[in-house]
């Protein structure tokens, strides 16, 4: 397949020669053949022209959930990857949030095979423990060999401190990445929202900042003792940022992410008891949000994730106490981030993080495989249900005003546009 992108403005801060320049990009059989001005069409070529077309290397998300196997009514792998591609993502890390969870090498092979023909590449996480029950380690080495990029009991904190220590020590032998979800369940108790003034006014049980921060302190002490590589997903408090900054200064091999919605909303959005805003970690305060954004800008927080988690309507259209946690976020990632940050910073955050998972970095240069995202950063619109591609419609961004529209991707010698 031959493709010619016409008059595309390139956003690539790593490439001083092309950054912010308008160029034609000629792609032959999945490889960038030429970049220049007024390139001529060669033979049978698909020409792509869009209003205010911009292009960057393909975007990456470090924490996506679908449903298959077991919860196909929420989202299948095929439609989930199509949604990711239409949202601009050429690589996603898939959370082990299925039934059964992927806790063997054959499960990892199944996930990779199910995604093999997609434009967006799926990189599976494996469960850290058997059945994600927190009792015994799963087949970590075998799953890494099969293609797992890390080990995670999805949103389930590991109660057994010694098991976390052993996991870090064992995975260190083959450079495995161990996730630890930051929440002390005993402190959190039956809390469902941020503990504070809003939870008191609404009569909802709160989750204090301490529940997250105490778990992070424990994890960092264990990491310092055991060695290895740790990732702490979706932090949400000001003090969590400080704790991780101190750990990095010590030289600990720790990374962390923040969920996009924890940058965009606070617990004040809960006043109408809208279950779309029931999330884990919960929405915190404006002070926390500012600290998280600052942590991203100074490099303490390594990357933003949509924390995309489809839930069918029966799990959300119930009383707030009984609703499931989670929101979809792929379709709104660019439009929301592009309002918080300038365009160049937005693209940096959307493209960074692969190296932590040992995923090859794409490059927008002649001779390299074409892994590109196409978008218009100036289009403005209000996000509503007709813009949702996901099977599930549980978006906390419904009604939000977005800045920036994604045209699609060119990846794995395919066009999704």
Question: Across the strands, what pairs with 190?
Answer: none
Question: Which tokens sit at 153?
Answer: 């009991």
Active-site residue, selected from the candidate residues 307, 321, 325, 342: 307
Nearest to 343 by CA among 7, 8, 10: 10
Residue partners of 365: CB distance under 8 A and separation at least 6: 15, 32, 35
Strand pairing report for 121-124 and 89-94: parallel
Residue partners of 243: CB distance under 8 A and separation at least 6: 213, 216, 217, 220
Q: Are 231 and 255 in contact (CB under 8 A)?
A: yes
Q: Are 130 and 117 in contact (CB under 8 A)?
A: no
Q: Active-site residue 184, yes or no?
A: no
DSSP labels, 274-312: -GGG--SSPP--HHHHHHHHHHHHTTSS-EEE--B----
Q: For residue 204, how many other CB atoms are within 10 A of its CB? A: 21
Nearest to 146 by CA among 185, 176, 172: 176
Residue partners of 350: CB distance under 8 A and separation at least 6: 56, 59, 60, 88, 304, 333, 334, 337, 373
d(CA 181, CA 317): 27
DSSP character at residue 264: H
Q: Number of helices (H) and strands (E), helices first, in the chain?
A: 12, 17
Helix (H) or strand (E) holding 172: helix 161-172
Nearest to 96 by CA among 145, 37, 140: 140
Nearest to 124 by CA among 142, 146, 141: 146
Q: Are 310 and 262 in contact (CB under 8 A)?
A: no
d(CA 321, CA 278): 9
**What are the residue numbers of the active site?**
307
């Amino acid at each position: 397949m031959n493709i010619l992108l016409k008059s595309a403005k390139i956003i690539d801060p790593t490439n001083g020669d092309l950054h912010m320049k308008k160029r034609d990009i000629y792609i032959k059989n999945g490889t960038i053949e030429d970049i220049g001005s007024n390139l001529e069409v060669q033979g049978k070529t698909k020409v792509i022209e869009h209003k205010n077309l911009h292009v960057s290397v393909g975007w990456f998300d470090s924490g996506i959930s679908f449903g298959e196997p077991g919860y196909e009514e929420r989202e299948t792998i095929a439609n989930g990857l199509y949604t990711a591609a239409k949202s601009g993502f050429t690589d996603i890390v898939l959370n082990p949030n299925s039934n059964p969870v992927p806790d063997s090498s054959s499960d990892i092979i199944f996930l990779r095979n199910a995604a093999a023909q997609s434009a967006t590449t799926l990189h599976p996480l494996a469960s850290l423990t058997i059945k994600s029950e927190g009792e015994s380690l799963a087949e970590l080495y075998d799953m890494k060999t099969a293609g797992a990029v890390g080990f995670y009991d999805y949103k389930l904190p590991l109660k057994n401190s010694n098991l976390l220590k052993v996991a870090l020590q064992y995975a260190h032998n083959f450079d495995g990445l161990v996730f630890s979800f930051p929440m002390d369940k005993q402190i959190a108790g039956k809390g469902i929202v941020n503990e504070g003034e809003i939870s008191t006014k609404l009569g909802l049980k709160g989750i204090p900042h301490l529940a997250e921060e105490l778990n992070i302190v424990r994890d960092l002490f264990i990491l310092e003792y055991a060695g290895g590589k740790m990732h702490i997903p979706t932090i949400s408090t000001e003090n969590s940022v400080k704790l991780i900054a101190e750990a990095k200064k010590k030289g600990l091999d720790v990374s962390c992410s923040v969920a996009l919605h924890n940058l965009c909303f606070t617990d004040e959005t809960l006043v109408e008891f809208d279950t779309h805003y029931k999330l884990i970690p919960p929405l915190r305060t404006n002070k926390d949000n500012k600290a998280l954004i600052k942590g991203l800008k100074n490099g303490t927080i390594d990357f933003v994730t949509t924390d995309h988690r489809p839930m069918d309507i029966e799990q959300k259209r119930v009383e707030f106490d009984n609703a499931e946690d989670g929101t979809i976020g792929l379709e709104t990632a660019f439009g929301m981030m592009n309002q918080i940050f300038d365009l160049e910073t937005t693209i940096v955050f959307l493209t960074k993080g692969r190296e932590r998972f040992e995923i090859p970095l794409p490059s927008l240069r002649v001779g390299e495989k074409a892994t590109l995202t196409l978008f218009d950063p100036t289009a403005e619109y209000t996000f509503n249900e007709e813009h949702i591609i996901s099977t599930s419609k549980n978006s906390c961004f419904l009604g939000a005003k977005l800045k920036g529209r994604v045209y699609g991707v060119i990846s794995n010698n395919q066009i999704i546009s």
